[in-house]
Structure 1
Amino acid sequence: MSGCPVISRESHDRWGGMAEREEQEALLEGSGDGDGAGERLRSTGESSGMSAVCDPSRFAHRLVVLLIMCFLGFGSYFCYDNPAALQIQVQRDMKVNTATFMELYAWYSWPNVILCFFGGFLIDRVFGIRLGTIIFSLFVCIGQVIFATGALCNAFWLMEAGRFVFGIGGESLAVAQNTYAVSWFKGKELNLVFGLQLSMSRVGSTVNMNIMGWIYSSIESMIGAAGPKTLGISLMIGAVTCLFSLACALILGYLDKRAEKILNKEQGKTGDVIKLSDVKDFSLSLWLIFLICVCYYVAIFPFIGLGKVFFMGKFQFSSQEASAVNSIVYIISAPLSPVFGFLVDKIGKNVIWVLSAVATTLAAHLILAFTFWTPWLAMSLMGISYSLLACALWPMVAFVVPEHQLGTAYGFMQSIQNLGLGVIAIAAGAIMDTRGYLFLEIFFVACLCGSLIAVVMLYFVDNMTGGDLNLSATKRRKLQRLTAIEKES
């Protein structure tokens, strides 16, 4: 939700950067002899006499698995931005200011400052992918129910506790979802699968932004009054999507267990190896990537969390119009994420892509801050640049870190991202309460300027150290082949 989103909801994005490497490994494994994994699975399936939909080795069955896999994170992404979709109602019914309201996002981020290091370990070594996915789905469900109960009981502290529990499950569930993807689709379909999963997650965020206000209004009409009870019932209805995702986790666990028995298929593993001692070996380029990540995302997710009221106040939008324009970032990222991922893979030049994304987002915030141009333009630019940055930034970690340190590097990147998002969410709410939206936009512009400076520094540092962050895809492949040849000799 950091990922990510966010407030990190970007857990998907780092896996997209590793997809090409996973594909190459799969091809190498299958190319050595005629008894590759794919052939063994096909031969087993053909001799079983099962229909294509029921045969785990057949494409039709894997399509069913993919559909369930995509819906696995739907509930988590839908409920993550419930506060943003109902900001006016939450602040009015619970009688809290903006800073306190933004603590709902901060409490989601706090557990993930730590869990980013241990989510993969829990999946690989403790629970296993199937049980781990169910447990994390339960955390998401229980957290949303506690969140809704807090509203019903008019207890904001209980709502915060619910978001904390929700956060424990949300990010780790995204890791589990991607682990399933690698387990079932390691090969030529993997990039497409990651793109579809991310797109479906963004659909969940978009639906939330556009439907929760209507649900609240409908409950208010039925009860006859607004208030904590109406808010709690609305949030409890949102919890139904989490139950749906839990059902997907149970079905997926059953299908994976069944495939293991039929095909002698191993459980999926994240491949993450976390060693905090690796941090001392991180290069300047990697620290600059971390800085770009934090400074960029703190200008995206907290803004979306507060965006609805901003659009209603500055542009005199109705509640429905404000929700629609606030969700445009997610709407655009759903189809564009896989497209940009393909382009970055084929062209390379990652630093230039990141520079373009940060500069475009900066322009979008300047338009929102200092003009009265239609916000659809600025938010569309933000959606395009947000999608582009995710595809270009996260894979760069793999270019500057040895493979045995990747788990630590990505874990640390997500950890400081969540830390930054938690702190900035509260700071953004305080700025809004004391200074208003103009100063808040100036604050976001300052964060993006920091990100822009870090990108420029990264460009020069990479050039001076002979790195390959900004190489074309063709040159990078040649360099990787030469490196592989040198290692063999």
Structure 2
Amino acid sequence: MSAPRPARATAWLVGALVALALFGNYYVYDAIGPVADLLQRQRGFSDSQVGLLNAIYSLPNVVLILVGGVLVDRFGAARMTLWTAAVCLAGAALTALSPGFAGMAAGRLLFGIGAETFGIATLAAIADYFGGRSLAFAMGLALAVGRLGSFGADMSPTWFAAAYAQGWQPPLLIATALAALSFAAALAYWWVDRAPRRAGLLPTGRGAEAFAWRDLLHFGRAYWYLLALCVLWYSVMLAFRSTFAIKYFQHVHGLDLAAAGQMNSHVFLAAVFATPAFGWLCDRAGRYAPFLALGALALPAALAVMALTPWPLWVSTLLIGVSFSLVPAVMWPLASRLVAPGRFGTAIGLMWVAQNAGISGANLAAGWLNDRAGASAANPAGYDAMMVFFGAASLLGCACALALWATAGRRRHELRSPA
């Protein structure tokens, strides 16, 4: 007999609040890309400094995110979502209000300390309420709404043209307001969550097993392939799309800021609709690894089309959108099936430790390559080394996805049945 679970209406209310919290958080993360050119022109930042503003977001999580996963297991998703949303709001405000690069970098650092554990907590929240019933669809839907925040950040030069006309700071103040919206949604989720958790319908977190490093050795081979794919895929996707894509479109393809932001936003516009659809399909088909491999393959294909062909840019951004829809829609539900429920936060935390190291390294490497080659509107060929770097990393990610598919196909006992 299955254990009692929260009412369906409560589950969907929590899902909506979590999605709204993700919306604000995603907007803040992607707020740097649209102001990158303004930061260079108005504040004299180099590409390395712009890259560092997103790289420093990830740097603390190379260590702290595993601790964050353990804390989610220990204290529960609702409290950790609320606490980390408050940290993210403080970081967004510091970034927008700081007069110099050091203050902005400190704000992004603080935002990163909160945001990655916030991401684990929101995934755990969906797993709490939807485990065993439409999990991939619910996660996909929450991520889709979150990506509307990224879409909004990319479209902000068009939607908030008056703010951008005033300089680099007003757009970042808008991002701070959306961080406040994220905190309000997290607070509402924490309030709604209290009743079902006290009624014993959800784990309290107090029963979580003590963490031991040796437990990581018991994760199966499929989990480690998934971790490697996570690192490589996110390193390319976030370093390119969230930091350098808009500048690349401006300098290499001759778009103005508004048009470049709109082109970059197509990735998330596609993901808003496709992520929950792919999640629903995976729930029905019960086949995760083939979809994951397909999503991983779409990324290097998109980069190749963008850099090597005269095809319209929307072809590449559509392919990136397919990849950005498929991979997260499959990756996180699959992770929940590869590890025991009491280790989900820890397993995701370990993945994000490695992921954040990769994202930081990719941002710094891409910025260094661009500066070294003198990449600019006057020298668009200077971006070639960056694109080769991103292409090679995405191909390695494809190899990991294929290895995972082969392993999961041979060793289905590694896949835990849904709760």
Category of TM-score, reference length = shorter chain: 0.7 to 0.9
The structure 2 residue matched to 1:422, chosen from 342, 347, 360, is 360
The structure 2 residue matched to 1:169, chosen from 79, 104, 114, is 114
Taking the aligned partners of 1:347 and 1:185, their CA distance within structure 2 comes to 18
Taking the aligned partners of 2:344 and 2:128, their CA distance within structure 1 comes to 19
The structure 2 residue matched to 1:141, chosen from 57, 66, 89, is 89
Q: Which position in structure 2 is the counterpart of 1:103?
A: 52
Relative to structure 1, the CA distance from residue 236 to residue 198 in structure 2 (aligned partners, 3 Å threshold; closer, same or farther) is same
The structure 2 residue matched to 1:445, chosen from 371, 391, 413, is 391
The structure 2 residue matched to 1:315, chosen from 253, 262, 266, is 253
3-state DSSP class of the match of 1:387?
helix
Relative to structure 1, the CA distance from residue 458 to residue 275 in structure 2 (aligned partners, 3 Å threshold; closer, same or farther) is same
Taking the aligned partners of 1:68 and 1:282, their CA distance within structure 2 comes to 32
Relative to structure 1, the CA distance from residue 311 to residue 115 in structure 2 (aligned partners, 3 Å threshold; closer, same or farther) is same
Q: Which amino acid aligns with 2:119?
A: A
Q: Which amino acid aligns with 1:29?
A: S
Q: Could you list the runs of 4 or more consecutive aligned residues of structure 1 that deviate by over 6 angstroms after TM superposition?
A: none
Consecutive unaligned residues of structure 2, counting only runs of 5 or more, are 374-381
Give matches, 1:363-402, under 5 Å: 363-397=301-335, 401=339
Contact 1:120 1:272 in 2 (8 A): no
Displacement after TM superposition at 1:401 (Å): 5.0
What's the CA shift string for 1:145-201, capped at 9, x where partnerless? 110122xx1x10111110111011112222333344344555645444323211110
Relative to structure 1, the CA distance from residue 411 to residue 133 in structure 2 (aligned partners, 3 Å threshold; closer, same or farther) is closer
Q: Which position in structure 2 is the counterpart of 1:72?
A: 21
Q: Which amino acid aligns with 2:299?
A: T
In the alignment, structure 1 residue 468 sits paired with structure 2 residue 412: yes
The structure 1 residue matched to 2:234, chosen from 285, 288, 297, is 297
Displacement after TM superposition at 1:341 (Å): 1.7
Q: Which amino acid aligns with 1:314?
A: V
Q: Which position in structure 1 is the counterpart of 2:66?
A: 117
Contact 2:16 2:142 in 1 (8 A): no
Displacement after TM superposition at 1:64 (Å): 4.6
Contact 1:296 1:358 in 2 (8 A): yes
Aligned residues: 409
What's the CA shift string for 1:215-271, capped at 9, x where partnerless? 3x41465xxxx6xxx32233122211111122222233333335667x576565499
In the alignment, structure 1 residue 255 sits paired with structure 2 residue 187: no
Contact 1:129 1:268 in 2 (8 A): no
Taking the aligned partners of 1:431 and 1:206, their CA distance within structure 2 comes to 27
Contact 1:65 1:252 in 2 (8 A): yes
In the alignment, structure 1 residue 245 sits paired with structure 2 residue 187: no
Q: Which position in structure 2 is the counterpart of 1:454?
A: 400
What's the CA shift string for 1:38-73, capped at 9, x where partnerless? 6xx8xxxxxxxxxxxxxxx683x6655443332122
Q: TM-score, normalised by structure 1?
A: 0.74
Q: Which amino acid aligns with 2:363?
A: A
Q: Which position in structure 2 is the counterpart of 1:193?
A: 138
Taking the aligned partners of 2:344 and 2:184, their CA distance within structure 1 comes to 32
Displacement after TM superposition at 1:461 (Å): 5.4
Percent of paired sites with the same residue: 26
Report the more deviating stretch, 270-279 or 340-349.
Answer: 270-279
Q: Relative contact order, CA 8 A, sep 6+: which one is greater?
A: 2
Taking the aligned partners of 2:11 and 2:288, their CA distance within structure 1 comes to 32
Displacement after TM superposition at 1:334 (Å): 1.5
Taking the aligned partners of 1:119 and 1:294, their CA distance within structure 2 comes to 18
Displacement after TM superposition at 1:214 (Å): 5.0
Q: Which position in structure 1 is the counterpart of 2:2?
A: 29
Q: Which amino acid aligns with 2:61?
A: N
CA RMSD of aligned residues (A): 3.2
3-state DSSP class of the match of 2:310?
coil
3-state DSSP class of the match of 1:29?
coil
Contact 1:123 1:270 in 2 (8 A): no
3-state DSSP class of the match of 2:85?
helix
Relative to structure 1, the CA distance from residue 460 to residue 172 in structure 2 (aligned partners, 3 Å threshold; closer, same or farther) is closer
Q: Which amino acid aligns with 1:149?
A: L
Report the more deviating stretch, 447-456 or 197-206.
Answer: 447-456
Q: Which position in structure 1 is the counterpart of 2:262?
A: 324
3-state DSSP class of the match of 2:236?
coil
Q: TM-score, normalised by structure 2?
A: 0.86
3-state DSSP class of the match of 2:412?
coil
